């Protein structure tokens, strides 16, 4: 019996290019984001200049082809970048991640050449941000129950409706939002389509940013469309096939949230380890206590498992293979690990973990949304069960 050789793809070791990207983003995050993240969080400030700098570094175009202004480094590299940002600040990470997976990827996969040149190229170059809006008040995960409409009028469309919890749709860098809307098919009734609405279009009314539990420095708001007129070339993908565009976009978004979860969990673990080595109780650092060692060892194990699940989903995506189930598994597991890591970080810090003078409570507040956005844990379990043949 001969021994088999494990291939690099099975070990998920980063290649030289991916490591270089990781190191570049890590250095930037530690030097340019970490010193200001607490202030941005406290004051609910969107860090426009920092996001511009990340665009100049190429963070928005990591996964996009060079012909469309990107670096062509692939989905794994993109996951690594988002992970490194979330290790320091989740608000910045979600701004970049949502811009790429929700704003850019639908254009790459479903856009016409004209749409890609107009919207995707400047997005990949970091010149502006894009958004995707499907969620509506009272609708949640049931995208087919959307009440937003786009009716044909003249040579264009008129949009009416409201979208909720939308990222990157109203700040100074925002350029467009892709929305799901009911359109009339040829045989009557209604079908779901996706259309592109440029920022500043009359009748498009971004509301004030939400006051959120976490992600204070990210731009999240409700969008109102009142007789909003867009061009005939605004439809993204086949008319009436918006559910396909949405579900495909959601798969990519789940990989992004999984990467964010890994990054936040890693950051929380590093904070907890550093404190445990410094905090002295009963004559020795608490890191010497077996109870603390077990907490940290459990987190280390869970984070590594989450990272491997995330890289696997990203690698399948990069290879052009189906990854719906793998994205759901990665996002489900990694997001719950992130919540666990943030909670244990507070627990290990004790009373100091409950005081808003460090990143510890910020990480705790930022973690919970990871089990909700891009599909709740409950929805993800249903997705996985369906893939297992256990549910209709």
Residue 57 and residue 150 in one domain: no
pLDDT at 72 over 50: yes
Residue 87 and residue 149 in one domain: no
CATH of the domain at 37: 1.10.540.10
172 domain-assigned: yes
**pLDDT at 185 (0 to 100):** 75
**pLDDT at 3 (0 to 100):** 42
CATH of the domain at 329: 1.20.140.10
Residue 191 and residue 210 in one domain: yes
pLDDT tens for each residue of 235-284: 999 999 999 999 999 999 999 999 999 999 999 999 999 999 999 999 99
**pLDDT at 391 (0 to 100):** 77
pLDDT at 307 over 60: yes
pLDDT at 7 over 50: no
Lowest mean pLDDT among 49-63, 133-147, 333-347: 133-147
73 domain-assigned: yes
Is 136 one of the annotated active-site residues of the chain? Answer: no
48 domain-assigned: yes
Residue 251 and residue 375 in one domain: yes
Domain that holds residue 336: 244-387
HEC per residue, 314-349? HHHHHCCCCCHHHHHHHHHHHHHHHHHHHHHHHHHH
Give the count of domains, the chain: 3
pLDDT tens for each residue of 82-114: 999 999 999 999 999 999 999 999 999 999 999
Distance from C-alpha of 359 to C-alpha of 86, rounded to nearest angstrom: 12
**pLDDT at 10 (0 to 100):** 67
Mean pLDDT for all residues in the chain:
94
Structural contact between residues 102 and 96, judged by C-beta atoms closer than 8 angstroms: no
Residue 318 and residue 377 in one domain: yes
**pLDDT at 6 (0 to 100):** 38
Q: How confident is the model at residue 13 (pLDDT cuts 50, 70, 90)?
A: confident
pLDDT at 378 over 50: yes
pLDDT at 193 over 70: yes
Residue 123 and residue 138 in one domain: no
pLDDT at 1 over 50: no
**pLDDT at 4 (0 to 100):** 39
Residue 330 and residue 297 in one domain: yes
**pLDDT at 186 (0 to 100):** 59
2 domain-assigned: no
Residue 349 and residue 372 in one domain: yes
Q: What is the DSSP string of 187-221?
A: TSS-EEEEEEEETT-TTEEEEEEP--SS-TTS-EE
Among residues 128, 144, 174, which one ends one of the domains?
A: 128
Among residues 68, 96, 128, which one ends one of the domains?
A: 128
pLDDT at 25 over 80: yes
**Residue 198 CB coordination number (10 Å):** 15
392 domain-assigned: no
Residue 51 and residue 159 in one domain: no
Distance from C-alpha of 390 to C-alpha of 382, rounded to nearest angstrom: 9
318 domain-assigned: yes
**pLDDT at 9 (0 to 100):** 58
Among residues 128, 156, 181, which one ends one of the domains?
A: 128
**Residue 148 CB coordination number (10 Å):** 21
Residue 163 and residue 66 in one domain: no
Residue 257 and residue 380 in one domain: yes
Catalytic-role residue among 32, 326, 336, 374: 374
**pLDDT at 12 (0 to 100):** 74
Instruction: Taking residues 113-129, report their average pLDDT.
Output: 97
pLDDT tens for each residue of 139-191: 776 777 889 999 999 999 999 999 999 999 999 999 999 999 999 875 555 68
Half-sphere exposure at residue 334, Cβ-oriented, CA atoms within 13 angstroms? 34
**pLDDT at 160 (0 to 100):** 97
For 30, 203, 239, the CA distances from 97, given in Å and listed in that order, are 18, 28, 27
H or E stretch covering 24:
helix 16-28
Residue 109 and residue 138 in one domain: no
**pLDDT at 392 (0 to 100):** 75
Q: What is the dihedral of CA 77, 83, 86, 90, to 10 degrees?
A: 70
CATH of the domain at 209: 2.40.110.10
72 domain-assigned: yes
253 domain-assigned: yes
């Amino acid at each position: 019996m001969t021994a088999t050789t494990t291939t690099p793809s099975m070990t998920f070791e980063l290649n030289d290019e991916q490591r270089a990207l990781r190191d570049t983003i890590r250095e930037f995050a530690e030097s340019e984001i970490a010193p200001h993240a607490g202030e941005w969080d406290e004051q609910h400030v969107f860090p426009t200049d920092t996001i511009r700098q990340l665009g100049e570094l190429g963070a928005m175009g990591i996964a996009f082809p060079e012909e469309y202004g990107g670096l062509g480094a692939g989905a794994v590299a993109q996951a690594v970048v988002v992970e490194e940002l979330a290790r320091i600040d989740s608000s910045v990470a979600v701004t970049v991640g949502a811009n790429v997976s929700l704003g850019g990827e639908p254009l790459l996969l479903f856009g016409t050449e004209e749409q890609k040149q107009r919207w995707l190229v400047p997005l990949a170059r970091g010149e502006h941000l894009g958004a995707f809006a499907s969620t509506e008040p009272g609708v949640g995960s049931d995208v087919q129950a959307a009440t937003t409409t786009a009716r044909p009028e003249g040579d264009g469309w008129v949009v009416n409706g409201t979208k909720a919890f939308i990222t990157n749709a109203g700040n100074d860098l925002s350029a467009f939002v892709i929305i799901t809307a009911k359109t009339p098919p040829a045989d009557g009734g209604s079908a779901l389509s996706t259309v592109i609405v440029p920022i500043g279009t009359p009748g498009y009314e971004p509301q004030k940013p939400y006051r959120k539990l976490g992600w204070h420095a990210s731009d999240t708001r409700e969008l109102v469309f009142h007789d909003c007129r867009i061009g005939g070339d605004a439809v993204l993908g086949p008319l009436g096939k918006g559910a396909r565009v949405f579900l495909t976009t959601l798969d990519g978004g789940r990989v992004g949230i999984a990467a964010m979860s890994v990054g936040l969990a890693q950051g929380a673990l590093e904070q907890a380890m550093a404190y445990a080595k410094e905090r002295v109780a009963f004559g020795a650092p608490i890191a010497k206590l077996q109870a603390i060692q077990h907490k940290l060892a459990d987190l280390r194990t869970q984070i590594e498992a989450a990272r491997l699940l995330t890289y696997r989903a990203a690698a399948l995506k990069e290879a052009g293979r189906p990854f719906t189930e793998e994205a759901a598994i990665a996002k489900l597991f990694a997001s719950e690990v992130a919540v666990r890591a943030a909670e244990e970080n507070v627990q290990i810090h004790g009373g100091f973990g409950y005081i808003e003078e460090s990143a510890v409570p910020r990480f705790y507040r930022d973690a919970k949304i990871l089990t909700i956005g891009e599909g709740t844990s409950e929805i993800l379990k249903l997705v996985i069960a369906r893939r297992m043949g256990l549910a209709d």
